[in-house]
């Protein structure tokens, strides 16, 4: 699980910084069109900050892969990757948008989602428990 955390941290840091620093250029690479409206730029930067936050959580969890918190981060990354696949694929298929990174992004997030699912289902990890009720 350390490898999935490390790779997720690096990937999401790059994407997050791109959307924080250059949201219009990042969007153009992903969906083939630049962001123009101030609201779109703001939302893209907030999304970029969220990706940087995920990156930080994954990076710090690398050293504690057997904890329930690490398992929770993997579950969150599973949800994020499934959502990313859905939204990016819909941008291409539903809206007809296309950027050079659209389908590679779908493929990357699909691979990461499967990897996260395998980690979540791995029996060697501690189960989700509510230790406060113990």
pLDDT of residue 124: 65
Looking at residue 129, its pLDDT comes to 58
User: By C-alpha distance, which of 47, 54, 50 is closest to 73?
Assistant: 54
The domain in which residue 34 lies consists of: 2-123
Does residue 130 sit within a domain?
no
Question: Is 132 contained in some domain?
Answer: no
CB-CB neighbours of 94 under 10 Å: 9
- For residue 26, is pLDDT > 70? yes
What's the domain count of the chain? 1
Asked if the structure places residue 128 within a domain, the reply is no
Tens of pLDDT, residues 66-76: 888 999 999 99
What local confidence, expressed as pLDDT, does residue 66 receive? Answer: 84
Judge residue 122's burial from the number of C-beta atoms within 10 Å of its C-beta, 0-12 exposed, 13-18 middle, 19 or more buried.
exposed
Residue 129 lies in a domain: no
Residue 128 has pLDDT above 80, yes or no: no
Residue 131 inside a domain? The answer is no
Which of 52-79 are b and which e, b meaning 16 or more Cβ less than 10 Å from the residue's Cβ? bebbebbbebbeebeeeebbebbeebbe
**Which of 85, 84, 17, 27 lies closest to 51 in space, CA to CA?**
17
């Amino acid at each position: 699980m350390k490898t999935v955390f490390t790779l997720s941290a690096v990937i999401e840091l790059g994407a997050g910084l791109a959307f924080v620093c250059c949201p219009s250029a990042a969007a153009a690479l992903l969906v083939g069109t630049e962001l123009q409206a101030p609201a779109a730029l703001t939302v893209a930067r907030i999304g970029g900050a969220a990706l940087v936050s995920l990156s930080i959580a994954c990076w710090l969890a690398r050293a504690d892969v057997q904890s329930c918190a690490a398992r929770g981060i993997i579950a969150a990354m599973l949800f994020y990757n499934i959502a990313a696949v859905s939204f990016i694929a819909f941008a291409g298929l539903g809206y007809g948008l296309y950027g050079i990174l659209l389908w590679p992004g779908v493929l990357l997030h699909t691979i990461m989602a499967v990897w996260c699912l395998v980690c979540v289902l791995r029996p060697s990890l501690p189960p989700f428990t509510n230790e406060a009720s113990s």
